Amino acid sequence: MSKKVIFMGTPDFAVASLKSLIETGIDVLAVVTAPDRPAGRGQKLKASAVKEFALTQNIPVLQPEKLKSPDFIAALKAYQADLFVVVAFRMLPEMVWDMPKLGTINLHGSLLPRYRGAAPINWAVINGDTQTGVTTFFIEKEIDTGKIIDFSKIDIAPNDTAGDIHDRLMVVGAKLLSKTVGQIFDGTATAIDQPAAEATHAPKIFKPDCLIKWDNTVKATHNKIRGLSPYPTAYTILYKEGQQKNLKIFESKPAKIINSNKESIVVNEEGLFFLCTDGYLKIENLQLEGKTRMKTSDFLKGFDILQWHLANPHQ
């Protein structure tokens, strides 16, 4: 039996899966990825990570602006692929995902039906979960609701960031996806309905969601920081005599310090600490507005943070 696939994806996370499919002997007829976009200070057009890799493999690349475009639909049909494989791509219209005879499968960065949606890795860490994983499933009309084919689990350590989990799931997911595709072509894949009652959601994260107001516990605030690191990044606002500056925080650590005055900002020989509702959080890695990212020890050498203050709604 032929093993002809069209692969759809955009970021680095998807490249590992595409590479794995090729290495396991799957015939990737073409890739579908986002159009080139302006990037960087020069706003030069930049290709997606998937496109860059596909070109090194001499795989044709399709970059439709609109997924219902007649030209794009005709191009897809002309390839006569048996299966479409989707990793970190846009939501597909039914006329696309229903096209191949073996269906369209997706690799999702959670243990479905938990964390359906755009930001499953971030929300798993923000919520303090100790385990997550990846799931392969058949795409259906409602997003992330199709029949589950297979899954792999990984543990989340107390100080893992969303970036750490992303990188591990990228590798685990690539392996799982190749296994799933092989089973589909061998006729040994099974698919089961998702237990809808167990579903949770992972909506896209916007800048207001990233603001830390310090009105929560040390644990919850630490989880928020690591769940948004390195992107889109938690931040707080420093105030001083009518001025304000945004301060991004990439890394933190729950701390045990005693400060009877309960000052919102503490600096001592151990480092920089911000007050939460039940104690202090040590800030390890940050970026002041207009500056580069740096270790807190370097930041404190050039910035007198004690001249500023935090808004602490709990005080």
Query: Looking at per-residue confidence, does 38 or 166 come out higher?
Result: 166
CATH code of the domain made up of 4-198: 3.40.50.170
283 has pLDDT over 80: yes
Compute the average pLDDT of residues 155-171: 98
Of 7-11, 21-25, 69-73, 259-263, least confident by mean pLDDT is 259-263
pLDDT tens per residue, range 203-218: 999 999 999 989 999 9
Give the residue extent of every domain in the chain: 4-198, 207-310
**Integer Cα distance of 168 and 147 in angstroms:** 24
282 has pLDDT over 60: yes
CATH code of the domain made up of 207-310: 3.10.25.10
Write down the pLDDT at residue 305: 96
Write down the pLDDT at residue 44: 86
Q: What percent of the chain has pLDDT over 90?
A: 90
The annotation places the binding site for (6S)-5,6,7,8-tetrahydrofolate at: 110-113
**Integer Cα distance of 289 and 273 in angstroms:** 19
Write down the pLDDT at residue 312: 64
Write down the pLDDT at residue 241: 87
Residues sharing a CB contact under 8 Å with residue 253, sequence separation 6 or more, in sequence order: 159, 222, 281, 282, 284
pTM of the model: 0.94
Compute the average pLDDT of residues 58-63: 98
Please state the separation of Cα 44 from the chain's center in Å. Answer: 25
Write down the pLDDT at residue 1: 63
The annotation places the binding site at: 110-113
Compute the average pLDDT of residues 288-300: 96
User: Which letter does DSSP use for residue 71 in this model?
Assistant: H
**Integer Cα distance of 28 and 92 in angstroms:** 19
Compute the average pLDDT of residues 140-148: 96
Tell how strand 104-108 and strand 131-138 pair up.
antiparallel
120 has pLDDT over 60: yes
Of 1-5, 144-148, 216-220, 230-234, least confident by mean pLDDT is 1-5
Compute the average pLDDT of residues 61-78: 97
Q: How confident is the model at residue 242 (pLDDT cuts 50, 70, 90)?
A: confident
- CB < 8 Å & 24+ apart, contacts of 262-268: 262/315, 264/214, 264/309, 264/310, 264/312, 264/315, 265/305, 265/306, 265/308, 265/309, 265/310, 267/300, 267/305, 267/306
Residues making up the chain, counted from first to last: 315
Q: What percent of the chain has pLDDT over 70?
A: 98
Q: How confident is the model at residue 167 (pLDDT cuts 50, 70, 90)?
A: very high
Write down the pLDDT at residue 42: 80
99 has pLDDT over 50: yes
Q: How confident is the model at residue 313 (pLDDT cuts 50, 70, 90)?
A: low
pLDDT tens per residue, range 1-49: 679 999 999 999 999 999 999 999 999 999 999 999 988 778 888 999 9
User: Which letter does DSSP use for residue 41 in this model?
Assistant: T
Write down the mean pLDDT value for the chain: 95
Q: How confident is the model at residue 276 (pLDDT cuts 50, 70, 90)?
A: very high
Compute the average pLDDT of residues 227-241: 96
